Each structure stands twice: as structure tokens, then as C-alpha cells.
Amino acid sequence: MRRFPFRQVIAYTVYIILVFCIQVSYSSEMSFMGQIPDLMFVFTVLTAYYFGFRDGVIVGLILGLLRDCFCAPCVTGLDGSLVVTCGIGMLVMFLAASVASAFFTGRMKRNVPFSFVTVAVVTMLYKLSGYVLTVFWYMTVSRAGNAESFTDHIVRSLLPQTGLNLLAAVPLVFLLKFLGPYKRGPAKNREDDKIISGEGNWVTY
């Protein structure tokens, strides 16, 4: 009979509360070129990368729900007014966890250096997807405004956001990799996922 994972539940609960509180309390202090480090997004990506799909999705859905409740994004409606979206945060976090949990985790053994590559790639996919959807929305549904040019999006949004997320990943990597929620040690196998320590060779065969 498996023991209830008290350590994991307590650790994730503390981390989620900490990440959420910092995100909503100090966003303006951490902004750069109109962008802020997305701590909730980065934490979800790193959790999924290090500890697999199940952990990443659970953490992502919780943080996505908090995002939808307290800081949901707005879109321009058909009449030109801003409309608060619902469920977008949970969807984004679910997709981010899905991608991160499978991003070269088999060959790269979930090591620390490649976790930063994962954060950068998933962030860029997120920003590019958002831009494509925005352009599609303005072209086909809303005529109240125009989307920014692709070049402006890269310079003013994608690159600053990626840089800020990479900076935010530094303390979060330390938090997840070296302080829990799982004890450091040899690789462990689970029925639905595989937790692999980042030690050893860069690539496995």
C-alpha cells in the first residue's frame, strides 16, 4: 500500500502559494519593456520537466485556476469593449505542462542546464501562439483594432518575456531541484511517469 505523499502535497502547496503571492504582489517592480516574469508559467514548466506530466498538470491547473480568478487576461470584444476571458489560464498551463513534460526528457535525463532551454522554448511557443491567435482574432472577428507587427512582437514582447522567464527560472530551479518536493537520490520509477535525477551523462542511449 502506497503511503500518502505528505511531503509532496505540503511542498507543492507552499510553492504554489509563494509563487502566486510574489506574482500578484510584485509584478510592477519586476517589469521590463512592458513585460513581467511569469513565475506561475515558469514554475509549471519546470515542475513538468523535472517530475513529469502528472505533477506538472496538477500544479499547472491549480495555478491556472488562480490566474483565471485573480488576473485573467482580457480581449477586445465585438463591440470594442474589453472582455475578461475564462479558462484561458488553465488551458495555457495544461498545454505548457504537456509540452515541458515531453521536451527531450528521455534523452537529456531532466538535467538542470536543459531545463532553461525548456523554459525558453515553451515561453517562445506560448508567445508566438498568442500572437497568431491575436492576429486571427483581429482579422476574422474583431474590427476594433489591429494587431502589432510581427517584428514589434518579437522585439517588444517575445524576447523580453523569454529573458525575464529565464531569470525567474534560476531560483525556481534551485527550489524544485534541490529543495524538493522529492528527496534527492537515485532515479525512481512510478507507474505513470519516470522521475530521473539530473546527474550523470548529458545524453542517454
Range of 117's domain?
Answer: 6-27+34-179
- In the beta sheet, which residues pair with residue 21? none
Residue 188: the pLDDT is: 42
Q: In total, how many domains does the chain have?
A: 1
Residue 168: the pLDDT is: 94
Residue 24: the pLDDT is: 86
CB 63 within 8 Å of CB 44: yes
Q: Residue ranges of the chain with pLDDT lower than 70?
A: 1-2, 72-85, 105-109, 141-147, 184-205
What is the rounded distance in angstroms from the CA atom of residue 166 to the CA atom of residue 114?
A: 12
Residue 180: the pLDDT is: 76
CB 90 within 8 Å of CB 66: no
69 domain-assigned: yes
205 domain-assigned: no
137 domain-assigned: yes
Which H or E element spans position 144?
none
Residue 143: the pLDDT is: 59
201 domain-assigned: no
80 domain-assigned: yes
Residue among 26, 30, 23, 20 at smallest CA distance from 59 = 20
What is the rounded distance in angstroms from the CA atom of residue 90 to the CA atom of residue 181?
A: 22
Tell me the three state secondary structure of residue 120.
helix
Give pTM, 2 decimals.
0.81
Q: Residue 111: give its domain's CATH number.
A: 1.10.1760
Residue 82: the pLDDT is: 58
Residue 138: the pLDDT is: 73
